[in-house]
Structures are given as structure tokens and as C-alpha cells.
Structure 1
Amino acid sequence: MPVFYRKDMMPMSQFSELLKEYIKKKDITIKALAEKCGIDRTYLHKILKGERKVPSVDFVENISLQLMLSTEDKSRLMELYNISEMGEDVYNRRKQVSKIIHDMANTNMEDPDALTFKTEVDIDSVPEISIYTDKRELRKNLQVLICSDVHNGSDIQVIAQPTEFLTNLLSIAAEGSESAINHLFFFDNTSGEKNTAKYNLDIFPFICHLAQKHEKYEAFYYYEGASAYFNSTNIMPNIMITNNFLIRTDSDYCEGVIYRSKPMVEFYMRQFEKFKTKCAKLLDHAVDILEYVYFWYDDNANFIGVDFQPCTMLCLTEDIYNAHALLPADAKKFVKAKLTMGKKALSEHKFVNLFSEKGLAEFMTTGEIFELPRNSYTFPTLAERKIMLQIMISLCENGMADYRIIKDDYFAVSKNLCINISDNTSLNIVARNNCFSDFSYLKISETSLVQAFWDYFQHFIDSDAVCSHEETIEILRSYL
């Protein structure tokens, strides 16, 4: 019979109870298990009583091996060990960030309730007030009316919490248009809560998805307690405004009212603009390589970069740059100045670059630089790539940069996603399409998000998923 753990149990007690369950299931004595693990029987007894801490992840690996645990059982035991080491809130937050990174690189959100067609309507034929109590009917008409107004040049103003349905609705409505989306929502700042970042991390992927798909999406946030918001008596909290329609719905888009009224639209637009002045802008877009380069090194702080390839831009010599950059003269000069700033920043701040060995191999084989769109440069020659690799090794050995290889068995680094994060200052996300011809650049400065990602990567660097400084240098040298 499985053991069910009370929420008020300490993490170490949970680990001990689960380990006792596994020992009982395998029908082995504590003495025999201690001998197999090469540890003192008394020491194991104290761990099982929750009186001693588990010494290391190696202990968990060893005892899982000796008990011949299944992959699933080992994962449960390892999870409780990690919770006992980090605390449940920190562990869950780091796990959440890891999932966000994976989903941003691999997930294409699709809502089964979101329709895939657009329909133009005769505005004058729409009733002045339409009340919907059927979820399917409401969502269908939201899409039809919003898409029709956007097709005729309307922008979209939204006050609503990011959800999967809203993300898909706005993505479909704005696809291929030049319309702006202004989106107001709250981030949780519930006082007294241990993990205020949880809700903020929950909604963050929806915001990123919209921002990456639509460059005229602007997100603005204010702070409010999530529990107070969702327990309030505001029965129609969601508001959407286009040129011709005011829409109010419940939080789940199951019931709502659509008004076709110019006075109502104008009144709510004025209120929307007033409310927007009290909100903070969440992210900055860069629509091309020059705007993205403008973001580089603006933060006077230590930073961590995570990408499929190692950062090669800081290893470009002036000769290699001049020979391969396909940019107008002014742009070429601007990028060069930013690269100079970057090299200066290395001498003043700590830079850690995490990457995949597969990315290193691909750069050394082809010369392709994933940090740049393909149409902005020509590939360096093999001799030039070796010069750049030697510079990379020199930066490592001189302590100016810390290049570290991520072990693919632990963490699959995506070609389509690059993350750069400054020390509790800003989070920069680069999403690439499969052809590497189109990039999306976002810069986020909201404190709870930046701190959550910074904490995650600080912990990740010291984990078994990342090669040591010395191991990485040895691997880099093998490619010369």
C-alpha cells in the first residue's frame, strides 16, 4: 500500500517514509542494505528516522541502485531529496522555470475551443447588446467580431489575465495584421506568501507566446494579490475593446456581453488609457538585429547566457568581422561599437555562457553563428573559426569568461531559443524560427520573473548537468 504524506510533514521525513516503503517492498533488511551501500547500519537507521540528513545526491543514486528501483520510483525519491535540500517552494519554482524554458523552445499552443477561421461581418447587423450564456457561442462570436474589426484596421485593448484561450484568440485575430494589442493584467504580490513568483510564472508563457508572434503586442502590468482578485465579486472582470465593440466576460470566457455602442466604446477607451498610465511596461521588443544589439551590455551587472552554440560574437576579431558582416556601413560601425562594449564588460563583470557540445561541433563544422540572422553575415572559414575558438579558450583561462558545456543527457538545449539574464536586472529572450531568418527579441525587467530565472540558472550551473570549467576547456581544446 502506498504511503500518503501529510503536507505538514518535513521534507526529510517525507524522504525517510518513502525510503522505508521501498525497503519494505524489496523485502531487504536495513543491515543488508547498509552493507550493500557500504555505509554504517546505525547511520542508515538515523536517516530512516529523519534524524540525519541525506549526505548527497550520490547517496540517493547508490541506494536506488542497490534497491533496484524503477526509473519512476527513483525519480520520486530524488525529488524528495531535492525538496529536503532546497525547500519545497524553491524546488517547485526551479522546476517551473525549467518547464517554461522547455515549453518556450518546443510547444506550439493550440486551444481546441479556438476556431481556425476568420469571418467578416456587417457591423450594422450586429445587435447593440448581445448576451451569451453558452461558452461555445460566446467564444465563436468573440473571434468573429474581433477578427472582423481588426481586419478593418482596429487595434485591440484588453484588460484580462493571460490564459491559453486569450492567447490563441489574440494570436488568431492579429495574425498578418498591423494592429496593436495593448494588454493590461496583474502580477501577484501577495504579502506573506512564500512563493509569490508561482502565479507570475504560470502566466508568463502566454505573454511570451503573444509577444513572439506579434511584434505590436504590448504588455503592461500592475500588482495585486491573486487570491483577492479571484475571490472578488467582480463577475465580469475581462474587458476587450475594439473600434466598434466593447466586450465584457467572466474570467473563464463562458458567459459575457458584447456591446455595439460608440458611446460605450469611447467611455471605456478613456478609462482604459487612464488605467494604463498606472501600469508598468513589461517588455521591450527588438524588431531587427540592430535593435537587439542595442540591448547588449546595457545592464551593468553579471550575466548568464544560455544557447545551443557558445557565444562567438565576443571572439570575433576586427578582421573576421569586417570580412563577413553583411551590413550597411553605419550599422556595421554600430555593431562593432557594441562588441567593443561587450569585451570591456567582460573585464568588469562575470559572464557565464552555457551551451551544448553539439552546438560547438556545428559551429566548428559549418561556421554558422546562431546569434545572428543568416542574411547578416557570411560564414567564417575553418581557419577563422579556429582563431575564434582559441580566443574563447583564452577568455576562459584568463578568467574573463566562464564557458560551460551543458550535458545533453541532462538538459536538451534548443536551437530555437537563447536566454540571457543579468544579475536580478533583466531577462532577454531570443526566439528563432526554423530557417534562422526571423528572430524575436524580448527584454523583460519584472523583478519576480528575473529573480526566478536568475536563481534557476545559478543553481543549474553548479549541478551535475553542467561540465566544470576545466572539463569545458579540455573539450574546447579537442576541437582545435
Structure 2
Amino acid sequence: METVFSQLLTKYIHSKDINVYSMAQFCGADRANMYKYISGDRKPPSLELVRKMSAFMQLTPNECDSLLEAYNIASVGAKTYYRRKAILNLLTNFENYTISESSLTTVPPSRSIPLAEVTVLNGQTKLLQYIFDILMLESSKKNGYVRLLMPPDFPAVIEYLVSLGYHEHTLKIEHIFCLNNAEQSFHHEQPYNLECLRKILPLYVCGCSYNSYYYYKDSPPDESLLSLFPYLVLTSENALIFSESLMKGILFHNTASVSLYQEVFQKCIQTVLPLATKIPDVMSQLCYLQKLDLKTKNTLMFEPVPCMTYFMPESFLEKYVYKDSDFRSSTLELLTLFFSQAKENFKNSKTSFIFTEQGIRNFLETGRIEEYPSNIYAPFSTKDRLYLIRLFMKTCDPSQMYLLRDHSFPARNGIYIYITPNNGYLMIPVANESLEYSQIFLDLSEPGLLTDFYDFCSYLKDDCCYSYKDAIGRLENILLEYQ
């Protein structure tokens, strides 16, 4: 049976006039098996064999990458492969999805909103300008409140909101959009639900109060007022509905119409579910972590530095939490309780730690653990840094320690994952230095996203890490460098 791999392999063999028997000899493979690889009746047993085949055929780097990708697709299936690839791209290129002052969309001065109670809008340029106008006007209010009923597929609108939210931290945005719960929820080889998450992440980290909600295509909000123009941008004074093509719309600038659409939105939000709940400050994060089911035996954690909460002596709290902090007493009390519960649960759980060499080195150089905000504790001493890593190595058994071979993950300021089959969260650095907190938690609620992230972490654990023996050896060598 032909596969995407066998089809591409056959194409290269024919185009480059390859002698199959000679290639089998070069690769150390049985000729009969090589013909089965070509026909699709059998899959090569390893990526290493595929690399040898590529070398014999003298493929270009792009051709080699295409053949390796085809092999991976044939191995796990297209849907699983592209889901994993999408999450990998999100983690390794996270800086491309965040924002900086220089990357923000320039916010033009707001124009005066027309006094007409109803304005018909034609053309994408005109419609976008009016969307920008009403968003700018709302963000300038003391407690601006924007409600969106639209997919995150309009980058100009999302980027404009990110720019407004970066400067106006009190701006509140509630966003409802549709996700796909069908197995084939892909768009141009991109998993649609993961793409939606990627597109809205800048709104979560820019500094404003942003929350997203979802519904599925087979259970849309029942609202006849949105049948002709299905998308809505709603503020305290304006309601703008528009078409999927962003070519036609109507702006309502009167109290009766705006109130009507506010009722519509409120009705919709009662029938949808939160996609991911933003948890910004450290006290709320600790309370949230206490409520998580840490006794789950299938817990996977992806962080450049393994979570040290399970191993850290409680004496470190008194030693390193800043003594001049206004919240030192309450922070110590909450951390002490959390540490105690976490260690007790760790004894009965089976948490797997997926981490990187770069993360270990960064911790040994800085004394910082990014899961805890840097403004509440002092950097650990070099002696204590080495002690913690050795304690981690001593405490974990081979089924818990997974050192990644891949060096492309950022050592700091990246996305960290805590995931079980039933719940999980992402820890994400904020992109606004003027905020009092340095990272947020996103509590994942949508079942499909939970499944995708759990599958990805399982894949990292099973297929992308050194053996336990090799991991211990590499960690020992790193520790020797810093002693």
C-alpha cells in the first residue's frame, strides 16, 4: 500500500536514476525489504536508515528534509504529525509570537465617530478603519470594555488590539469564536484549534485583561440577529457587525441598537466555554496550583529546568524569599503549604520531567527558576544551585528524568507545559515590562487542546530524549564545569 513516504521515495529513485540493489547494499539493508519500502508494503525501521538512503541518492538538504518529513507522516499519520509540528513550532519560535515596543502596530489618532445612528460600510479598508476607530475610542475610556464575536483570523484587528492592550492595561476584552471538534480540523496542514491559540497568545501576554471563549460548529450560539453578518465588534457606544469576507458591515451608533447587541453577546457568552483562563499574579497562581490534581500518575512537565518545587528544602524559602517584600508573610505561608502538599503528592505520583541542557546551564549561571517570579526571591547561591540539581538526580528514578536531545528550545522566556490527560496549564512570559508580574498561567479547558499537548509531551518523552544513563552522564559533566 503506497504511503506519502513511498511515493516520494519512488519519485527520487526515478528522477535520479538510482540502482535499488546498490542503495540496499550501501544502507546495509536487505534488497527485498528495500523494494517493500519503495512499494509501501513496509516502513523503514528507523530515521537513520532513511538518512542513509538520502545520502546514497545525494539528495539536497531540502529534499532530505522532505523525505524525513514524509517518513514521519507515514509513521504516525498526518494529523498527529502536523499537530506535533504545530506545537513544536510554537515552543521553539515563541519569540515570534510575542511583542515588543518596536513590533507593535502603530496606533493612529482616533477620528471622530460619525453621528449617524446607522452607517453602512463597504470595502475592507473602510470597514477596518471604522473597527480601529471604535476600538481606539473604547480603549481611551477609564474602564474600556471590548466584546468580540469573531474568529482570530483577522490579523489586522488582533494586532491593533494587542497594541491597544499593551498601553492600556485596564482594557477588558472578551472574545468568543468557533473551534472545530471534528477529527479533520486542519487548514492548510495546520491544526485549526492550535492555530487559534497561537493567534490569540499575544493578547494574553500584552498586559490587558483578555479572556477567550469557544463553541463548536455543531453547537453555535442561537442568535438570529447575526445570521446575515455573523461577526461582531462591540463597545460601550458602538456595535459593528460584518461579513466573513470583511467587505461589508453595518455600524450602529445608537443606544437602542448597542443595548440590543450587548444582550445578544451576553446571551452567547452564557452558552460558550472558556478556552483558557488567564492567571496573572503569583498569589493567584499558587492558589490555582493547590487546586490541581497533583496525584495524577500520568503527569508530564516540560520545562527547561525541572520543577524544583518537589525537591527544594523548605529552609530555602526563609533563606531566599525577599525579606523586604510587602507580601513576605503571606507568600511564605502559601509557599510552605504548597511545597508540603507537592512533596507529599510526589511520593504517590509518577511525574515525568522533560527538560533541556540549556535550561540546566541557565539555572546554574543565574540561580533563577522561571516558574517563580524573580521579584519575590533572591538568586540561589552557586552551592545551592549545584545541590538542587544533584538532589533532583538522586530523587528521580529512570522513568521520571527525560533530558531532551533537541537544543532548539529556548533556555528561558519560553512556554512551559504542565499536562495530564484531564487538566493542564501553560506558563507563558508576559511581553510587557511595565507589569508587576513576569509570567501568566493559562489554564487549558478545551479537551482537544489538552489531548494535543499531552500527546506532544508523550512524544518528547518517548522519542526525543537521551537514555537515563546518558542523561546522568551529561548532567554530571555539566556539574563538573560549574563546581
The Cα offsets for residues 163-182 of structure 1, whole Å up to 9 and x where unpaired, read as 22332232234343312111
Q: Choose which of 274, 277, 284 in structure 2 pairs with 1:284.
A: 277
State the distance in 2 between where 1:31 and 1:372 align: 58
The Cα offsets for residues 361-390 of structure 1, whole Å up to 9 and x where unpaired, read as 121233122222221111111221222122
Question: Could you tell me how far 1:405 is from its partner in structure 2?
Answer: 2.0
Structure 1 equivalent of residue 8 of structure 2: 18
Equivalences for 1:85-234 in 2 at 5 Å?
A: 85-108=75-98, 116-122=106-112, 125-153=114-142, 154-163=144-153, 164-177=155-168, 178-190=170-182, 193=184, 198-225=191-218, 234=227
Name the SS for the 2:348 alignment partner.
coil
The Cα offsets for residues 370-426 of structure 1, whole Å up to 9 and x where unpaired, read as 2222211111112212221221011223x6x723222244x3235112322322223
The one-letter code sitting in structure 1 at the alignment partner of 2:347 is S
Larger mean Cα displacement after TM superposition, 415-424 or 262-271: 415-424
Structure 1 equivalent of residue 415 of structure 2: 418
State the distance in 2 between where 1:472 and 1:45 align: 38
Structure 1 equivalent of residue 239 of structure 2: 246
Q: 1:215, 1:285 within 8 Å by CA — same for their partners in 2?
A: no
The Cα offsets for residues 324-343 of structure 1, whole Å up to 9 and x where unpaired, read as 01251122110121122222
Name the SS for the 1:373 alignment partner.
coil
Name the SS for the 1:413 alignment partner.
coil
1:458 to 1:35, Cα distance in 2 relative to 1, 3 A: same
Question: Could you tell me how far 1:206 is from its partner in structure 2?
Answer: 1.9
The Cα offsets for residues 294-325 of structure 1, whole Å up to 9 and x where unpaired, read as 23251342322222323223331122221001
State the distance in 1 between where 2:447 and 2:196 align: 15
Question: Could you tell me how far 1:430 is from its partner in structure 2?
Answer: 1.9
Q: Which runs of 4+ in 1 moved over 6 A?
A: 194-197, 226-229, 434-437
Tell me whether 1:308 sits opposite 2:308 in the alignment. Answer: no
Alignment RMSD, CA only?
2.8
Question: Could you tell me how far 1:239 is from its partner in structure 2?
Answer: 0.8
The Cα offsets for residues 32-67 of structure 1, whole Å up to 9 and x where unpaired, read as 112111222222122222222322222112212222
The one-letter code sitting in structure 2 at the alignment partner of 1:95 is K
The one-letter code sitting in structure 2 at the alignment partner of 1:170 is L
The one-letter code sitting in structure 2 at the alignment partner of 1:277 is Q
1:258 to 1:71, Cα distance in 2 relative to 1, 3 A: same
Larger mean Cα displacement after TM superposition, 30-39 or 101-110: 101-110
State the distance in 2 between where 1:27 and 1:383 align: 62
Q: Choose which of 406, 422, 427 in structure 1 pairs with 2:424.
A: 427
State the distance in 2 between where 1:50 and 1:403 align: 36
Tell me whether 1:274 sits opposite 2:267 in the alignment. Answer: yes
The one-letter code sitting in structure 1 at the alignment partner of 2:405 is K
1:105 to 1:351, Cα distance in 2 relative to 1, 3 A: farther
Tell me whether 1:34 sits opposite 2:29 in the alignment. Answer: no
The Cα offsets for residues 228-254 of structure 1, whole Å up to 9 and x where unpaired, read as 99xxx9441111211110111112433
State the distance in 1 between where 2:371 and 2:415 align: 8
State the distance in 2 between where 1:396 and 1:24 align: 51
Q: 1:247, 1:256 within 8 Å by CA — same for their partners in 2?
A: yes
State the distance in 1 between where 2:430 and 2:83 align: 28
Larger mean Cα displacement after TM superposition, 291-300 or 269-278: 291-300
Tell me whether 1:383 sits opposite 2:383 in the alignment. Answer: yes
Identity of aligned residues (%): 21
Structure 1 equivalent of residue 315 of structure 2: 319
The one-letter code sitting in structure 1 at the alignment partner of 2:136 is C
Larger mean Cα displacement after TM superposition, 317-326 or 48-57: 48-57
Question: Could you tell me how far 1:159 is from its partner in structure 2?
Answer: 0.9
Q: 1:159, 1:184 within 8 Å by CA — same for their partners in 2?
A: yes
Q: 1:421, 1:453 within 8 Å by CA — same for their partners in 2?
A: no
Tell me whether 1:406 sits opposite 2:397 in the alignment. Answer: no
State the distance in 2 between where 1:295 and 1:420 align: 15
Q: 1:244, 1:261 within 8 Å by CA — same for their partners in 2?
A: yes
State the distance in 1 between where 2:348 and 2:157 align: 43
Q: 1:405, 1:466 within 8 Å by CA — same for their partners in 2?
A: yes
1:453 to 1:273, Cα distance in 2 relative to 1, 3 A: same
Larger mean Cα displacement after TM superposition, 137-146 or 301-310: 301-310
The one-letter code sitting in structure 2 at the alignment partner of 1:313 is T
1:228 to 1:238, Cα distance in 2 relative to 1, 3 A: closer
Number of aligned residues: 458
The one-letter code sitting in structure 2 at the alignment partner of 1:70 is T
Q: 2:212, 2:275 within 8 Å by CA — same for their partners in 1?
A: yes
Q: TM-score, normalised by structure 1?
A: 0.87
State the distance in 1 between where 2:461 and 2:312 align: 25
The one-letter code sitting in structure 2 at the alignment partner of 1:365 is E
Name the SS for the 1:292 alignment partner.
helix
Name the SS for the 2:3 alignment partner.
helix
The one-letter code sitting in structure 2 at the alignment partner of 1:18 is L
Question: Could you tell me how far 1:293 is from its partner in structure 2?
Answer: 2.0
Q: 2:366, 2:379 within 8 Å by CA — same for their partners in 1?
A: yes
1:215 to 1:38, Cα distance in 2 relative to 1, 3 A: same
Larger mean Cα displacement after TM superposition, 256-265 or 380-389: 380-389
Tell me whether 1:356 sits opposite 2:356 in the alignment. Answer: yes
Question: Could you tell me how far 1:20 is from its partner in structure 2?
Answer: 2.6
Q: TM-score, normalised by structure 2?
A: 0.87
State the distance in 2 between where 1:299 and 1:475 align: 32
1:330 to 1:152, Cα distance in 2 relative to 1, 3 A: closer
Question: Could you tell me how far 1:87 is from its partner in structure 2?
Answer: 1.4
